[in-house]
């Protein structure tokens, strides 16, 4: 399959470059800029894209363009720092800008260019350095008010540089620029489709598993469900799915998992209700990191016990997706502080003896959904609202009890039901949910003074979940949600709406 290799110099938006290329139905992979040459060249790439990054190319020790990229003779597109690194490598000159440029800008295309449409267009800039002299053989193809050299081109060698970021949504024509580079300039074939993904993945899984037995832990989430469905397509009855209900799922989800996988998919399914086990382990715990650690460890042990009962299996299916892989191998972005512990990052304990099968390892979330639909999974499962691995534990702030979980579960269902009724799910909100706060306040119900808990409603819009904005829900919808929660959820007398974007906040509260 034709491939574009993307070298990551530490940009926060490198994954978006890969997503935009994939959206053009061209396969690509994202590598650290210093990944071994043989690893990248083994894919026989049709071209290279060099990402942005936080460094200054003229500083000692700054990341540079690998020699094999320049020696390959293949098309190259440098973006922001990638453009500056390409310029530096080819003997142009880069220097600090007298005025950094961050945010929206307008470029003017100066010459006919195969990569850029003629005229003026809005773009997104984020740089403190700029090109002062292009490399020999390059001409200036675009400028902006603050960047006299906003794009450069060497059409003879098919080498291009963009000072702006075409991958972000703030550059409206950026997706087409990346498509043009991949398809028109690199001549990559449009082979990356849901059907081809299913076909290639099934072949790969068959080879890996052979005639051995395999188990899959399923949660009802789209990742684990699609991973199990792909393996089921590949090896059939060699797969056993294990569903552990920790008592931390949303309303109706345990039943939906059994129906979707056991009845619709026809998979061999073992369903275990471990609510009491998890709640006992979480008793008195309030710290969010402790909650995540306890839930992760307990899940592994409960799952392991059920796996042993199911019979000896050599392989374990894991729903790792491409962003997990990229983040674990990304170059230093100089922002190494841990935000939160992810339930599926860090691998399995050394005493859990399985070989991993990761059928989604090279897929983004939107690609996982497309594959799920191609496999025939129900839309209700494929488009399930994103849900954290530790479940309602990270939306039930403070101590977790059966009573508080019931309270949260009802409130959350009200939020989803009202948004569904108003036609505001999927296209209008990427994620929406209720959060139960350990904050009590005074209220009045039926002429009686109350002292009860607070529910926060969170709804966000986002294309990639790397950034998000709070959803501007219609006031009548918020009013209905609030009215229903305080009337239908015992122990709650106040509802608030979270109007914080990501960043500075995260989407989840814990």
Q: What is the pLDDT of residues 274-320, one digit of tens each?
A: 999 999 999 999 999 999 999 989 988 888 888 887 778 889 998 88
CA distance 502 to 510: 13
β-pair partners for 268: 240
In a domain, 146, yes or no: yes
Q: By the 8 A CB rule, do 485 and 495 touch?
A: yes
User: In this predicted structure, what is the pLDDT of residue 202?
Assistant: 95
In a domain, 143, yes or no: yes
pLDDT digits (tens, 9 = 90+) for 345-392: 334 455 567 889 999 998 988 899 999 999 988 888 888 888 888 899
User: In this predicted structure, what is the pLDDT of residue 338?
Assistant: 34
- For residues 84-98, average pLDDT: 92
Q: Are residues 493 and 373 in the same domain?
A: no
User: In this predicted structure, what is the pLDDT of residue 264?
Assistant: 66
Q: Is 311 exposed, middle or buried (0-12, 13-18, 19+ CB in 10 A)?
A: exposed
Domain end among 158, 185, 212 = 185
Tell which wins on pLDDT, 98 or 212.
212
- Least confident residue range of 40-49, 101-110, 379-388: 379-388
Instruction: Identify the three-state secondary structure at position 273.
Output: strand
pLDDT digits (tens, 9 = 90+) for 193-211: 999 999 999 999 999 999 9
User: In this predicted structure, what is the pLDDT of residue 398?
Assistant: 95
User: In this predicted structure, what is the pLDDT of residue 329?
Assistant: 61
Q: Are residues 214 and 359 in the same domain?
A: yes
β-pair partners for 245: 273
> Is residue 498 scored above 70 in pLDDT?
yes
User: In this predicted structure, what is the pLDDT of residue 36?
Assistant: 96
Q: Are residues 374 and 450 in the same domain?
A: no
Q: Is 61 exposed, middle or buried (0-12, 13-18, 19+ CB in 10 A)?
A: exposed
Instruction: Identify the three-state secondary structure at position 301.
Output: helix
Q: Residue 195: in which H helix or E strand, if any?
A: helix 194-209
Rg of the Cα trace of the chain? 25
CA distance 322 to 19: 10
Q: By the 8 A CB rule, do 418 and 477 touch?
A: yes
Q: How confident is the model at residue 20 (pLDDT cuts 50, 70, 90)?
A: very high
Q: Are residues 272 and 297 in the same domain?
A: yes
- For residues 121-129, average pLDDT: 89
Question: Structure tokens of 270?
Answer: 């073992």
Pairing between β-strand 159-162 and β-strand 151-154 as defined by DSSP bridges: antiparallel
In a domain, 48, yes or no: yes
User: In this predicted structure, what is the pLDDT of residue 24?
Assistant: 96
Question: Which residues, including other chains, have CB under 8 Å from residue 476's CB and lie 6 or more apart?
Answer: none
- DSSP character for 119? S
Tell which wins on pLDDT, 502 or 464.
502
> Is residue 265 scored above 60 in pLDDT?
yes
> Is residue 334 scored above 70 in pLDDT?
no
pLDDT digits (tens, 9 = 90+) for 163-197: 999 999 889 999 999 999 999 999 999 999 999 99
- For residues 93-119, average pLDDT: 89
Q: By the 8 A CB rule, do 185 and 75 touch?
A: yes
Total domains in the chain come to 3
> Is residue 480 scored above 90 in pLDDT?
yes
CA distance 122 to 78: 19
Question: Structure tokens of 2?
Answer: 């034709």
Domain end among 185, 204, 222 = 185
In a domain, 502, yes or no: no
Q: Are residues 120 and 238 in the same domain?
A: no
Q: By the 8 A CB rule, do 192 and 1 touch?
A: yes
CA distance 406 to 187: 56
Tokens 């050394």 belong to 350
Helical axes 402-421 vs 475-488, angle rounded to 10°: 150
- For residues 241-246, average pLDDT: 91
Q: Are residues 463 and 363 in the same domain?
A: no
In a domain, 205, yes or no: yes
What CATH number is associated with residue 74? 3.40.50.880
H helix and E strand count, the chain? 15, 18
> Is residue 30 scored above 60 in pLDDT?
yes
What CATH number is associated with residue 421? 3.30.300.10
- For residues 72-91, average pLDDT: 96
Q: How far is CA 154 from CA 76, 281, 408, in A?
A: 10, 63, 59
Q: How far is CA 312 from CA 241, 243, 414, 474, in A?
A: 13, 17, 43, 54
- For residues 403-415, average pLDDT: 97
Question: Which residues, including other chains, have CB under 8 Å from residue 94's CB and lie 6 or more apart?
Answer: 56, 57, 58, 84, 87, 88, 129, 130, 131, 132
User: In this predicted structure, what is the pLDDT of residue 101?
Assistant: 75
What CATH number is associated with residue 272? 3.40.50.620
User: In this predicted structure, what is the pLDDT of residue 333?
Assistant: 37
- DSSP character for 360? T
User: In this predicted structure, what is the pLDDT of residue 159?
Assistant: 98
Q: Are residues 180 and 200 in the same domain?
A: no
Q: Are residues 299 and 199 in the same domain?
A: yes
- For residues 382-411, average pLDDT: 92
Q: Are residues 284 and 140 in the same domain?
A: no
Q: Are residues 208 and 341 in the same domain?
A: yes
Pairing between β-strand 27-32 and β-strand 76-79 as defined by DSSP bridges: unpaired
- Domain extent at residue 258: 194-382
Kindly report the average pLDDT of the chain as a whole number: 89
- DSSP character for 464? S
CA distance 35 to 31: 6
> Is residue 339 scored above 50 in pLDDT?
no
Its pTM stands at 0.79
Q: How far is CA 412 from CA 252, 277, 479, in A?
A: 12, 23, 15
Domain end among 185, 207, 238 = 185
CA distance 470 to 432: 10
User: In this predicted structure, what is the pLDDT of residue 331?
Assistant: 54
Q: Nearest CA to 457 among 489, 503, 444? A: 489
> Is residue 422 scored above 80 in pLDDT?
yes
Q: Nearest CA to 272 among 304, 248, 244, 307? A: 244
Question: Structure tokens of 440?
Answer: 């009590």
In a domain, 504, yes or no: no
Q: Are residues 291 and 359 in the same domain?
A: yes
Q: Are residues 269 and 405 in the same domain?
A: no
In a domain, 509, yes or no: no
In a domain, 507, yes or no: no
Question: Which residues, including other chains, have CB under 8 Å from residue 396's CB and lie 6 or more apart?
Answer: 404, 405, 408, 435, 436
User: In this predicted structure, what is the pLDDT of residue 344?
Assistant: 44
Catalytic residues: 80, 165, 167
């Amino acid at each position: 399959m034709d491939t574009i290799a993307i070298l990551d110099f530490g940009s926060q938006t490198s994954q978006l470059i890969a997503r935009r290329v994939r959206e053009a139905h061209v396969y690509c992979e994202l590598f650290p800029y210093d990944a071994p040459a043989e690893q990248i060249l083994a894919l026989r790439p049709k071209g290279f894209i060099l990402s942005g990054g936080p460094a200054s190319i003229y500083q000692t020790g700054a990341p540079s363009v690998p020699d094999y990229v320049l020696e390959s003779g293949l098309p190259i597109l440098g973006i922001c720092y990638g453009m500056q690194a390409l310029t530096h490598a080819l003997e142009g000159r880069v220097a600090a800008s007298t005025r950094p440029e961050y945010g929206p800008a307008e470029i003017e295309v100066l010459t006919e260019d195969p990569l850029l449409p003629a005229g003026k267009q809005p773009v997104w800039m984020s740089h403190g350095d700029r090109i002062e002299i292009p490399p020999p053989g390059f001409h200036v193809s675009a400028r902006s008010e603050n960047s006299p050299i906003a794009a450069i081109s060497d059409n003879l060698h098919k080498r291009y540089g963009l000072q702006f970021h075409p991958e972000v949504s703030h550059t409206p024509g950026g997706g087409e620029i990346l498509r043009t580079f991949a398809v028109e300039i690199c001549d990559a074939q449009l082979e990356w489709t849901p059907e081809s993904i299913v076909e290639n993945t099934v072949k790969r899984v068959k080879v890996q598993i052979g005639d051995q037995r395999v188990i899959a832990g399923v949660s009802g989430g789209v990742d684990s469900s699609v991973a199990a469905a792909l393996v089921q397509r590949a090896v059939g009855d060699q797969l056993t799915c294990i569903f552990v209900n920790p008592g931390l799922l949303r309303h109706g989800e345990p039943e939906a998992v059994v129906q979707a996988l056991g009845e619709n998919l026809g998979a061999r399914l073992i369903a275990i209700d471990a609510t009491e086990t998890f709640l006992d382990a979480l008793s008195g715990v309030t710290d969010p990191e402790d909650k995540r650690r306890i839930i992760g460890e307990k899940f592994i042990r409960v799952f392991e016990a059920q796996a042993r009962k199911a019979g000896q299996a050599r392989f374990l299916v894991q729903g790792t997706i491409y962003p997990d892989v990229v983040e674990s191998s990304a170059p230093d972005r100089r922002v190494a502080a841990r935000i939160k512990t992810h339930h599926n990052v860090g691998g399995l304990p050394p005493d859990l003896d399985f070989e991993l099968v990761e059928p989604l390892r090279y897929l983004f979330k939107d690609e996982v959904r497309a594959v799920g639909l191609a496999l025939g999974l129900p839309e209700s499962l494929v488009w399930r609202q994103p849900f954290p691995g530790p479940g309602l534990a990270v939306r039930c702030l403070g101590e977790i009890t059966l009573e508080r979980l019931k309270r949260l579960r009802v409130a959350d269902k009200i939020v989803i039901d009202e948004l569904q009724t108003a036609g505001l799910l999927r296209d209008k909100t990427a994620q929406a949910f209720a959060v139960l706060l350990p904050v009590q306040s005074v209220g009045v119900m039926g002429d009686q003074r109350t002292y009860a808990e607070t529910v926060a409603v969170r709804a966000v819009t986002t294309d990639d979940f790397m950034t998000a904005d709070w959803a501007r829900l219609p006031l009548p919808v918020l009013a209905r949600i609030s009215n229903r929660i305080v009337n239908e959820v015992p122990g709650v007398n106040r509802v608030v709406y979270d109007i914080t974007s990501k960043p500075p906040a995260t989407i989840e509260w814990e």
